[in-house]
Structure 1
Amino acid sequence: MAKPLALTTGEPAGIGPDITLKAWLRRNELKLPAFYLLGDRDLLDRRARALGLKIEFADVSADDAAGAFAEALPVVSTGHAASAQPGRPDDSSADAALASIRQAVGDVAAGRASAVVTNPIAKSVLYRAGFRHPGHTEFLAELAATGGHTPHPVMMLWSPALAVVPVTIHLPLRQAIAQLSSELIVTTARIVVADLKARFGLAHPRLAVSGLNPHAGEDGTLGSEDLTIVTPAIDILRGDGLEIRGPLPADTMFHDAARQTYDCAICMYHDQALIPIKTIAFDDAVNVTLGLPFIRTSPDHGTAFDIAGTGKANPSSLIAALRLAARMAAKQPS
């Protein structure tokens, strides 16, 4: 039996519990890979009752989760109770969310799970509790550190229609431009290519690189960065033998015909990458962290406090994240 996926609770007051319950209920219909939730069984039971869902739970260890999955939703306790009500995070939220992430990474490192799938967290809640990372991605990189080396994490948003990677991520736009460098673009693209080969099965990945400025700088008349930062990076990557084009005007990169010419778009900042994929594939896009020694996927949406516990949450992105994690894990060397 394949090793199950380790699914985190996310923010207990958000829609993570809702979409987890809904996904498990569709396990047979959709032939979902086995997963277990790391968290508080009582929280899930309360949420199931609030949603009017009849769910069987199994309190298990990670080693026994796959065998229980067909008949009950496996829950592996983290030892941290979560008392938050839907839409109302409380003092238990941060500890419960972080413990779930830490334990999921530990389970994959120990060989008890095949991949980590994370439900959405509320960064504002974590920041109030002293969390010092910009987000999930950077925290996972710290957890993956070994021998004093912290891997360089790369955030990819993937869907069947489009895959995008922002070179700079959770930064104000002014800081993103200041941080952008040829070295950062080269490092990011090399990690993307390595994981597209190893975990997505693409022998010769094709990359399209956006410019930073409108019209990719219009030969320097709309900003010099595309000539002085982006183009030198592309030249280095072509020297690696990569199939790569750019810098391209971002406003013409994402229509149907353009998307057929590349496997992944490398963009310069957060919104340049995320606006097109959330427009094209909001319900089935998946957040994937590349560059880590383990597989991590996540739904491409937030905690949605306003609909938590109402039954309105759509599990499609979580279902896509579970499927993609299993697909990537299947390509890992045994």
Structure 2
Amino acid sequence: MTTPLIGITMGDPAGVGPEIIIKSLAAMTPAQRAGIRIYGNRDSLIAAESVLITGMDLSELDIHHTDIPGPLPAFGKLDDRCGEACFQFIKAAVADAMTGDIGCIATAPINKAALNAAGHHYDGHTGMLAHLSGSKSSWMLLASERLNVIHVSTHIALRDAIGRATTERVLATIRQGDAHMKRTGLSRPRIAVAGINPHCGEGGLFGTEDDEFLAPAVAQARAEGIDVQGPISADTVYHRAYNGAFDLVIAQYHDQGHIPIKLVAFDTAVNVSVGLPIDRCSVDHGTAFDIAGTGRANNTNLNHALAYAAKLVANPKAKP
């Protein structure tokens, strides 16, 4: 059997996506590049190559091309045509992933303002991928060498995130995190649930959500045989996980999980979508309009995302 392709979506054509893709592919062997399909705009890739001058022959690349009407979008400029284009790149990649034509999608960054200006109202990649793949729920997991975090909620207001941390949602997050970590090679992942209130509420002094909602979720997961502890005060649990006590932390909301990961693994963390019928991982940075088109974009994060994608392709999801 041949190994399924990894599909890279180019992201916003005005951002650094075209450049980091060219940099990463230029460093590969021809055999490695043969395992990659790019979902993007060929002219934007050519423009990036004209800046980088890697010498790579773009005609040899597997490119699923999408036209962009009008003149080529300028690097570093917000353009609703780019929002439409990046949606079409992702839509095509999801369709191929759903049929098994590609084994995993690795996404370059999109610009949410451009996406919404084009009429596609999503909170980001994860919500868009869930909609396109017909998924009711999805989770964001940030993976790095020494710290892994999965979120109960992500792109919602903090006041709404507190209400989102129900026993059912926290339990579902624990289950999804446990299954994903097992898929990456851990036979019995050690999971910690971060508390939502300071000191997990300190017995009700600073809130009761930890006792009312989080603790029952942990108890149920433990009853199912999952190795999980908590809730544990968020001001210590990430330090403990980073130093080897836990394989995965359940973060209750966006910043609670993103801040520690970006502190310790800013250039290497990989954004993984969990709970979808397809596999997707991504760089954990934005479109960087301020340096787009200058050749200064760092492709280290994309290299890590592609390595993680290869690991998922090698360990495919169990069929439902």
Task: Tell me which interval the TM-score lies in, with the shorter structure as reference length.
Answer: over 0.9
1:273 — aligned with what?
Answer: 257
Equivalent residues in 2 for 1:227-238, closer than 5 Å: 227-238=211-222
2:307 — aligned with what?
Answer: 323
1: CA distance, partners of 2:107 / 2:300: 14
- TM-score w.r.t. the length of structure 2 is 0.93
Aligned-residue CA RMSD in angstroms?
2.0
Measured after TM superposition, the shift of residue 32 of structure 1 is: 7.3
- TM-score w.r.t. the length of structure 1 is 0.89
Measured after TM superposition, the shift of residue 34 of structure 1 is: 2.5
1:177 — aligned with what?
Answer: 162
2:75·2:292 contact (CA, 8 Å) conserved in 1?
Answer: yes
Offset from partner CA, 1:187-244 (integer Å, 9 cap, x none): 11111212222x3122212110000011121122111111111111111111111111
Number of residue-to-residue matches in the alignment: 316
Equivalent residues in 2 for 1:15-164, closer than 5 Å: 15-28=16-29, 34-58=35-59, 72-80=60-68, 83-145=72-134, 150-164=135-149
* The 10-residue stretch of structure 1 (229-238 or 12-21) with the greater mean CA deviation from structure 2: 229-238
Offset from partner CA, 1:83-113 (integer Å, 9 cap, x none): 2111013232012101100111111222221
2: CA distance, partners of 1:273 / 1:227: 20
Equivalent residues in 2 for 1:284-299, closer than 5 Å: 284-299=268-283
1:2 — aligned with what?
Answer: 3
1:155·1:166 contact (CA, 8 Å) conserved in 2?
Answer: yes
2: CA distance, partners of 1:222 / 1:91: 45
* The 10-residue stretch of structure 1 (38-47 or 283-292) with the greater mean CA deviation from structure 2: 38-47
**Which SS does the other structure have where 1:253 is aligned?**
helix
1: CA distance, partners of 2:236 / 2:121: 37
1:195 aligns with 2:176: no
- The share of aligned pairs that are identical, in percent, is 39
1:32·1:323 contact (CA, 8 Å) conserved in 2?
Answer: no
1:191·1:291 contact (CA, 8 Å) conserved in 2?
Answer: yes
Offset from partner CA, 1:161-183 (integer Å, 9 cap, x none): 11101111101111111222111
Measured after TM superposition, the shift of residue 303 of structure 1 is: 0.6
2:4·2:313 contact (CA, 8 Å) conserved in 1?
Answer: no
1: CA distance, partners of 2:304 / 2:242: 24
2: CA distance, partners of 1:278 / 1:24: 25
2: CA distance, partners of 1:155 / 1:46: 32
